[in-house]
Amino acid sequence: MQQKTKLVGLMIVALFICTSPNRAVQAPTSQTPGNGARPGTGQHLPHYILGPNDEITILSLYAEEIANKTTRITTSGDLNLPLVGRIHVAGMTLEELEVEVADRLKTYYRQPDVAINVVTFKSQPVSVFGYVGSPGLIQLEGKKTLIEVLALAGGLRAEAGSEIKITRKSEWGPIPLPSAKIERDYSSVELNIRVIENAGRPEENIEILPYDIITVARADIVYVLGEVRKPGGFALTNNRTISLIELLARAEGTAPGAAVSHAKLIRRVPDSTRVEEKVDIKAVLNGKSKDIQLQPEDILYVPASYTRGALRRTLDTAVAATTGAIIYRY
DSSP string, 109-148: -SS--EEEEEEE---EEEEEEESBSS-EEEEE-S-EEHHH
Taking the C-alpha atoms of residue 269 and residue 278, their distance in angstroms, rounded to an integer, is 16
Q: In what order do the strands lie in the sheet with 263-268?
A: 274-279, 263-268, 299-302, 220-226, 232-236, 327-329
* E strand or H helix that includes residue 2: helix 2-19
Residue 15, pLDDT above cutoff 70: no
The pLDDT tens digits of the residues spanning 276-307 come to 899 999 999 999 999 999 999 999 999 987 55
Instruction: Return the amino acid letter for 233.
Output: G
Neighbours of 243 (CB within 10 A): 14
106 or 27, which is more confident:
106
The CA-based angle 173-177-179, given to 5 degrees, is 115
Q: pLDDT class for 113, splitting at 50, 70, 90?
A: confident
Mean pLDDT across 29-48: 50
Is CATH 3.40.50.720 what the domain over 31-120 is classified as, yes or no? no
Contact in structure between 257 and 227 (CB atoms under 8 Å): yes
Give the strand pairing for 327-329 and 78-81: unpaired
Pairing, β 186-192 against β 124-130: unpaired
Give dist(CA 231, CA 254) in Å, integer. Answer: 9
Q: Please report the DSSP string for 217-263 in residue order.
A: EEPEEEEEEESBSS-EEEEESS-S-EEHHHHHHHTTSBPTT--GGGE
How many of the other CB atoms lie within 10 Å of CB of 172?
Answer: 17
Average pLDDT over residues 60-64: 84
Say if 126-218 and 220-329 have the same CATH topology: yes
Confidence bin at 9 (pLDDT 50/70/90): very low
75: pLDDT strictly greater than 90: no
Q: Quote the CA–CA distance of 148 and 163 in Å, as a whole number.
A: 17
186-218 tens-digit pLDDT: 999 999 998 998 888 999 999 999 889 999 999
> For residue 212, which of 146, 160, 152 has the smallest C-alpha distance?
146
Give the pLDDT band (50/70/90) at residue 174. Answer: very high
Share of the chain above pLDDT 90, in %: 49
Residue 151's pLDDT band (cuts 50, 70, 90): very high
Choosing among 3.40.50.300, 3.10.560.10, 1.10.10.60, 3.40.190.80, the CATH entry for 126-218 is: 3.10.560.10
Residue ranges covered by each domain of the chain: 31-120, 126-218, 220-329
Q: Please check the confidence at residue 328 and state whether its pLDDT lies above 70.
A: yes
CATH domain 220-329 topology: Outer membrane lipoprotein wza fold like (3.10.560)
